[in-house]
Amino acid sequence: MGSFNLFHDFRGGEMGTIADHGNCRETCLPAIIASLIVFLLLSVLTGCSPPKNKPRYIWPVPPEQARVEYLQTIYRPEDLQLQPDSLSKALLGRQEPLFQTPFDLLTDRRGRLVVSDSRAGLLWVLTRRGKVTSLPANGKRLHLPLGIAEDSDGRLYVAEGTEKRITVLNPAGEIERRIGEDIFSGNPSFLAIARHRKLLYASDTRNHQVLVFTCGGEYLRTIGTPGTGPGELAAPQGLAVNNKGELLVADMLNSRLSVFGPDGGFRRTIPFTGWEAYYFNSPKGITIGSDGTLWITDQRVGALVAYSREEKPEMVIGAGHMSAHPMAFVAPSGVSVTSNGSLWIADILMRRLSHWQQLTPSYLAVHPFDEATRRRLAAYGRHPRQASRE
């Protein structure tokens, strides 16, 4: 299982990802950032351009199997261009951020990244070409937009927290209708849709339950009751539906995932517990990849956790403690994964998105490791001086 802390090792003008052990957490990261700043300033003063072969940031490091690659952080509009120095800009930038409070996100049927911004009162829509627009159409605003979901026809469902309702946008981005205005007594938070059954789930964090509607808006039932026992919930957050039609609920204050059947009956609990070096705390967002991997954000400690198809913990990204470093998280919330393994995470307090990529065979076929990356990966576990000479 992968180590849990990330920082960058600055060697001869290149950066490579290594594991954080001992007291390096408190002492190394500031020095590394300072070295990076000096390098960037020297590059600007001397007119040097970034090297053509950029270092790659792979996690976890050997002897564990590499699983993901860090691609970029989106903080300002220009970060959408996937510029080669996006990591440096994330560290040093002083311009206004694109987001105010990014809460949840998804990749829609058209391949656009849709992000709910609760403080801004809208959805940001980011295209693959770097274009940014907002929803609803015609300049209208939403009231504390939180969780978002998309049905098979391309409609977007948005939980409006302060209005205690779900707003539906048609494929053109126009407000089509409202759901649950007379049903919610608390605040809807995250949403999920079981497309094959056309069911809409909404977590009610304040009342410790999940409400079930048809996608047409008819209220059906409530799942869960307040408490700590089997089938009981405490401040439920993220929702996801697996290929069996089961509903997975991020049971935040109970530090676990609760699983319910298609009929709403309780099935089982997935303990949100860890191992000696790291203990999970507060599951927030959850999504399921096409390979069955569960991706869960842990908001209180600032981490992204991967569970296997067999519902066993496999990997942690983000150090297991809150960090403003671009490859870490402070308050991660929504998480989304595309069919090709592209991972997006919304970080509420840092007002940014993190973009990672699963190292699938199809991805590595197009983006194979170059010789420099292979040497860096092979150097882990040897003395730093020996690795630096290679």
CATH code of the domain covering residue 313: 2.120.10.30
Q: Which residue has the tokens 């983006």?
A: 367
For the cut 70, the answer to whether the pLDDT of residue 86 exceeds it is: no
Least confident of 9-18, 186-195, 230-239: 9-18
**DSSP string across 14-58:** EEEEEE--TTHHHHHHHHHHHHHHHHHHHHHHHTPPPPSS---EE
Q: What is the mean pLDDT of the chain?
A: 81
Give the 3-state secondary structure of residue 11: strand
Query: Which residues are CB-neighbours of 239 under 8 A, at least 6 positions away?
Result: 147, 190, 191, 192, 201, 202, 203, 210, 247, 248, 249, 250, 286
Return the pLDDT at 319: 63
Return the pLDDT at 121: 96
Distance CA 3, CA 60 (A): 7
What is the per-residue pLDDT across 347-380, written as a single tens digit (0 to 9) for each?
Answer: 999 999 999 999 999 999 999 988 888 888 877 7
- Please report whether residue 360 resides in a domain: no
What is the per-residue pLDDT across 310-319, written as a single tens digit (0 to 9) for each?
Answer: 999 889 998 6
| Mean pLDDT confidence for 186-214 | 95
Q: Which domain holds residue 237?
A: 102-338
Which pair of tokens denotes residue 227?
């408490």
| Mean pLDDT confidence for 259-264 | 95
Query: Which residues are CB-neighbours of 252 under 8 A, at least 6 positions away?
Result: 205, 234, 235, 236, 237, 282, 283, 284, 299
Question: 17 vs 234, which has greater pLDDT?
Answer: 234
Which pair of tokens denotes residue 260?
């319910």
For the cut 60, the answer to whether the pLDDT of residue 14 exceeds it is: no
Return the pLDDT at 5: 35
Amino acid at 192: A
H-run or E-run covering 199: strand 199-204
- CA-angle at 347, arms to 342 and 352, nearest 5°: 80
- Please report whether residue 17 resides in a domain: no
Return the pLDDT at 43: 36
Confidence of residue 32 (pLDDT cuts 50, 70, 90): very low
* For residue 60, cis peptide bond before it (omega within 30 degrees of 0): yes
Which pair of tokens denotes residue 178?
């409202």
Confidence of residue 129 (pLDDT cuts 50, 70, 90): confident
**DSSP string across 352-384:** EEEEEEE--HHHHHHS---HHHHHHHHHTTS-H
Question: 282 vs 44, which has greater pLDDT?
Answer: 282
What is the per-residue pLDDT across 171-197, written as a single tens digit (0 to 9) for each?
Answer: 999 999 999 999 998 899 999 999 888
Return the pLDDT at 179: 97
- Please report whether residue 199 resides in a domain: yes
For the cut 60, the answer to whether the pLDDT of residue 88 exceeds it is: no
- Please report whether residue 18 resides in a domain: no
- Please report whether residue 154 resides in a domain: yes
Which pair of tokens denotes residue 42?
């020297």
Return the pLDDT at 207: 95
The gap between the terminal CA atoms of the chain, to the nearest Å, is: 27
Q: Which residue has the tokens 């991805």?
A: 363
Least confident of 32-46, 109-123, 242-256, 337-351: 32-46
- Please report whether residue 33 resides in a domain: no
Confidence of residue 95 (pLDDT cuts 50, 70, 90): low
HEC string of 289-351 equals CCCCCEEEEECCCCEEEEECCCCCEEEEECCCCCCCCCCCCCCEEEEEECCCCEEEEEECCCC
| Mean pLDDT confidence for 20-33 | 39
Return the pLDDT at 374: 83
Distance CA 150, CA 108 (A): 7
What's the sign of the alpha-carbon dihedral 202, 153, 117, 354? positive
What's the sign of the alpha-carbon dihedral 261, 259, 337, 69? negative
| Mean pLDDT confidence for 284-311 | 94
- Please report whether residue 65 resides in a domain: no
Proportion of the chain above pLDDT 90, given as a percent: 59
Of all residues in the chain, what percent are helix, strand and coil, respectively (each to 5)? 15, 40, 45
For the cut 50, the answer to whether the pLDDT of residue 288 exceeds it is: yes
For the cut 50, the answer to whether the pLDDT of residue 283 exceeds it is: yes
Whether the CB-CB separation of 77 and 132 falls below 8 Å is answered with yes
Q: Which residue has the tokens 């403690």?
A: 321
Q: Total structural domains in the chain?
A: 1
Return the pLDDT at 80: 74
Confidence of residue 53 (pLDDT cuts 50, 70, 90): low
Give the 3-state secondary structure of residue 98: coil
Return the pLDDT at 277: 62
- Please report whether residue 278 resides in a domain: yes
For the cut 80, the answer to whether the pLDDT of residue 102 exceeds it is: yes
Whether the model pTM is above 0.75 = yes
Confidence of residue 24 (pLDDT cuts 50, 70, 90): very low
For the cut 70, the answer to whether the pLDDT of residue 302 exceeds it is: yes
